[in-house]
Amino acid sequence: MPDIVWKVIVLYFTTILGSRCCFHTDVNPEDNPNIPAIAKYFTTKGRYEEVNPHLIDDILAVNRSILQPPSAQCREIHLTAIIRHGTRYPTSKNVRKMQKLYELVKSSAAAKQSWLREIQTQWRMWYTEDMDGRLVQKGVDDHKHLAVRLSKLFPTMISEEKLRGGFIKFITSSKHRCVNSTLSFKAGLTGLWAITDKEFDHAVNDALMRFFDLCTRFVEEVDNNPSALSEVDKFRQGPEMRRVQEKIADRLRVPYNNITDDMAEAAFYLCAYEFAIKTVNSPWCRLFDEVDAQVMEYANDLKQFWKRGYGHDINSKSSCILFHDLFSRLDKAADENKSGQQVNEAVTVQVGHAETLLPLLTLLGFFKDSDALTSTNYASQTQRSFRTSHMLPYAANLLLVLYDCGGGELRLQPLLNEKTMTFPGLTDQRASMPLYEDVKKHYRELLQGCDFEAECQLFKPPADV
């Protein structure tokens, strides 16, 4: 999108709608023929708009009333935003799976439906291995739009004055999709305020944003250990997944043994990527009904649970370094504010991955169900809170906002994907914005321990004496 067009759009929405624009309650994605009926099950391949459907009609809509500070005295003094990169192309590994499925469908599918003819005669395999997870234009827009919305949600924090004054700091993973998302976020702000005379730096910090690569114990015990995901493998070979594969084979009219669990996953991803990248309700989506999509969603949630979530203790402990960095920023802001100084780092924007966010959310205790996700309890987990379709769409974001409410009273508010949350275990009347000291007491053991070096080293048996 040309810069001048982007500026006109931003200025229009900002001027006409202002920061008081409210959510539409009449948006029903299921009534829109351009949105796949199964889009809400796309897990980490889902659009941000499925989590916040009001954005479908107005991509810059915000609702400041959700913040609800306990008194009019409360003012924001620091905001940290930990954000997943925007919409991206599939990885080369998934492109290869998709290519294999496409070739099978093109050569062997014998069904006569019009959607299948469309795949065989009109659709082309346009994904290539060199795309390998790169940011797409939709991903650029994801971050530009998010930047504008956050500036409307927190206008005293994410402001032109603070950006020009150097009070907003940008940190990113080294991966191209994260660097380009960071550039897009900055472009959203500079476009909003028509800043053309200055550029703003960002720092690449993989120790913070890709901590999982540097945690030896996680790499050895989980990432490179096939048995760590045994529950995932069992589910993929189990009756629910087998039924999905059989239904796909029936719809294509190919032998059952032609459709593997990898093929089913590739078909699901083709539907998801066509929609996320091109906003197309692809004929590939016709291979699934809602029941099938729920099974596919569970398969991916199971993988995330065991690889990045509550399945193994080291998954969350690998994020200790990010946890301590977060609270040290909050403490520094609190100390500067207490001493009457201007908070030096008013806003920190950190861009990483789903694999950055999920271990930290897990460490903080969010989205923990009473029972672990396993290969055998799919039927009893339909109401689970651990659902990556809701937690981790493209451009997912965790915000922690520190408020000074007067008289030395500091409060901390967590938001995920622009929705308020309550810290697990803090359930008083003001649970969505508890006292900062209460939050620190709640996480006391982690603040006193959770040492990245100690947690991440491989424990070796003592040498024989």
If 0-12 CB within 10 Å is exposed, 13-18 middle and 19+ buried, where does residue 50 land?
Answer: buried
If 0-12 CB within 10 Å is exposed, 13-18 middle and 19+ buried, where does residue 119 land?
Answer: buried
Token digits for 160? 């032109």
Distances (CA, A) of 14 to 28, 142, 155, 188: 25, 17, 12, 12
Closest to 398 in 3D by CA, of 409, 410, 412: 412
Strand 419-420 with 347-352, pairing: unpaired
Active site residue 312: no
Question: Residue 162 and residue 330: Cα distance in Å, rounded?
Answer: 18
Question: Residue 450 and residue 211: Cα distance in Å, rounded?
Answer: 14
The catalytic residue among 85, 202, 312, 390 is 85
Question: What is the SS3 assignment for 169?
Answer: strand
Question: Residue 181 and residue 354: Cα distance in Å, rounded?
Answer: 14
Determine how many CB atoms are found less than 10 A away from the CB of residue 320: 23
Question: What is the SS3 assignment for 237?
Answer: coil
Q: Which residues contact 79 (CB under 8 A, 6 or more apart)?
A: 154, 157, 158, 346, 347, 348, 399, 400, 401, 402
**Which residues face 81 on adjacent strands?**
349, 399
Radius of gyration of the chain from Cα atoms? 23
CA angle 379, 355, 314 (to 5 degrees): 80
Active site residues: 85
